[in-house]
Structure 1
């Protein structure tokens, strides 16, 4: 039986990808002339496509306002869904391209323990999906150890928390993600009361869990504390073991620092408090390191997956977290 509903007929058989691309571009660029330039066609060609969409739907998707076009409510709905459709098509294109290229080999990845778990896990999963014939090994270590492994040719890519000064012309580094590095205490700590105001002065007598002495993270923490007349005193614990640090923080005796992505779930469950103090900005970056004289196709593909996942994490709802 023939369907006489123009809207249903449009979405069943009349909607084409060029329609979505044109409307999404129009939402971003605002003028037909700019959309035409972006698609390397004439302005009448774009206007004709928009007219075809409106004729098929039987409703307006744009309003003419002088030289500009504004999306109607219906147009905005189509654009919102269209962006998602086009994003999934682009992801499919990347997957098919990677599979068709037959990327194989082995990639060796290392990271410090404070790299957010979703960044590593999602990157590995995406890589293995796009290169099922490839293999991957992963190691956790301190940044100085990871850099040495890169130098020795035992790693292809490393992930750390600091940009490093180096004289090596072949070592490259790139910031791939940013997030706050925050001060935390356990819920049973004297500073763990959510209703209590906290200042730097409250940390003067604190017992600390710090990164390992000599690491860039330790230096950043100590410098920040010193700028506020605070010293790491006796009774401190130096540790790069994330599980141990979390257990000690939750015990209620220590103040420490954690990436927000790690601290947030514990704070939401009520076992930790993120203190309302400025985050450690120099530690907010996640940096990828590699040697450009030994980059294999598998390593290049993993780097691309890493950037893609990092971009998705930055854009997902709740990525920006307000400190108390």
Structure 2
């Protein structure tokens, strides 16, 4: 009963934001010395804060294991709730700052490298035209990194190439655009001549640029090649950089896969040839992901701009086929 009373009293009157920030940082960093460095304070100052929490509640929130500290089950619960509290406070801070400054707020978004640049660029232009006082920040990364940042509140919106199977009820996904990946080779490659027939077995003798091992695009490519008894050679290159891949393709003896819009652009310039093989339909979708419980008003506007930019690309593709 004494513990119950102490815990109630702590949550009503004793809990402070620094307590939450320290415990969350400890969960991420694992050592008091690292937490102290992150907060630019001394190690005893962090230890004192942790002791203050435990003394006020009458229960342990950490256990020492060698040079590291592990959260107890109670500490784990506080950290999980603390992350949500700190995330919501950050959202409130951004919204209040935006309102006080008369701006439209700030949107942080990221995309995998294979997203067509015209779509994101058009969405940014639409957004800034409608919210001229707003600001944006953008990063490129692998889908797993972007989703981790989204989950931890470091991103508002992520853009990838796959619909995700997830139990998170707050995660929203929407298809923005659909285009397949196609097989390509340099115009100087043996398979790059327009009058050269191409068969699956021809790919087995080529040097490859593949997506990064473990990525959905890599798995799809290897599955497709394996079904036709083809395997990239030992000297293949793995790269997630679209610009590097295009440069290597246009100047080297490689074959690879590219989004159709990118491949067509360079084929029209005479740099690449889209090989006459079935495209990888499993990689067609461009998908936006966001947390419904953590998307600011400016973020909602940017999602609408992404949808419009995707619709515009679909319209242009339809017109080009007519």
Deviation at 1:233, TM superposition (A): 2.1
Deviation at 1:168, TM superposition (A): 2.0
- C-alpha distance 141-303 of structure 1, shift in aligned 2 (>3 A): same
- Asked if structure 2 preserves the Cα contact closer than 8 Å seen for 1:225 and 1:231, the reply is yes
- C-alpha distance 130-123 of structure 1, shift in aligned 2 (>3 A): same
Residue 307, structure 1, aligned to residue 304, structure 2? no
Residue 265, structure 1, aligned to residue 265, structure 2? yes
- C-alpha distance 107-178 of structure 1, shift in aligned 2 (>3 A): same
Match of 1:285 in 2: 285
Distance 1:149 1:190 in 2: 43
Partner SS state of residue 174, structure 1: strand
Could you list the per-position Cα deviations for residues 5-50 of structure 1 after superposition, in whole angstroms to 9, with x for gaps in the alignment?
A: xxxxxxxxxxxxxxxxxxxxxxxxxxxxxxxxxxxxxxxxxxxxxx
Partner SS state of residue 185, structure 2: strand
Deviation at 1:287, TM superposition (A): 0.6
Match of 1:255 in 2: 255
Partner SS state of residue 286, structure 2: strand
Match of 2:117 in 1: 117
Deviation at 1:166, TM superposition (A): 1.9
Superposed CA RMSD? 1.6
Could you list the per-position Cα deviations for residues 130-157 of structure 1 after superposition, in whole angstroms to 9, with x for gaps in the alignment?
A: 0012111111111111101101101111
Partner SS state of residue 183, structure 2: strand
Partner SS state of residue 190, structure 1: coil
Distance 1:318 1:237 in 2: 34
Could you list the per-position Cα deviations for residues 86-121 of structure 1 after superposition, in whole angstroms to 9, with x for gaps in the alignment?
A: xxxxxxxxxxxxxxxx77111111001111111000
- Asked if structure 2 preserves the Cα contact closer than 8 Å seen for 1:173 and 1:289, the reply is yes
Distance 2:317 2:283 in 1: 22
Superposition TM-score, scaled by structure 2 size = 0.66
- Asked if structure 1 preserves the Cα contact closer than 8 Å seen for 2:185 and 2:273, the reply is yes
Range that drifts further, 163-172 or 136-145: 163-172
Deviation at 1:169, TM superposition (A): 2.0
Distance 1:179 1:119 in 2: 12
Residue 197, structure 1, aligned to residue 197, structure 2? yes
Partner SS state of residue 189, structure 2: coil
After TM superposition, what 4+ stretches of structure 1 lie above 3 angstroms from structure 2?
A: 317-322
1:97-136 matches, within 5 Å, as 104-136=104-136
- The answer for unaligned runs of 5 or more in structure 1 is 1-101
Distance 1:319 1:212 in 2: 34
Deviation at 1:252, TM superposition (A): 3.3
Deviation at 1:319, TM superposition (A): 5.8
Superposition TM-score, scaled by structure 1 size = 0.66
Match of 1:153 in 2: 153
Q: How many residues align?
A: 221
Distance 1:107 1:319 in 2: 32
Distance 1:252 1:196 in 2: 18
- The answer for unaligned runs of 5 or more in structure 2 is 1-101
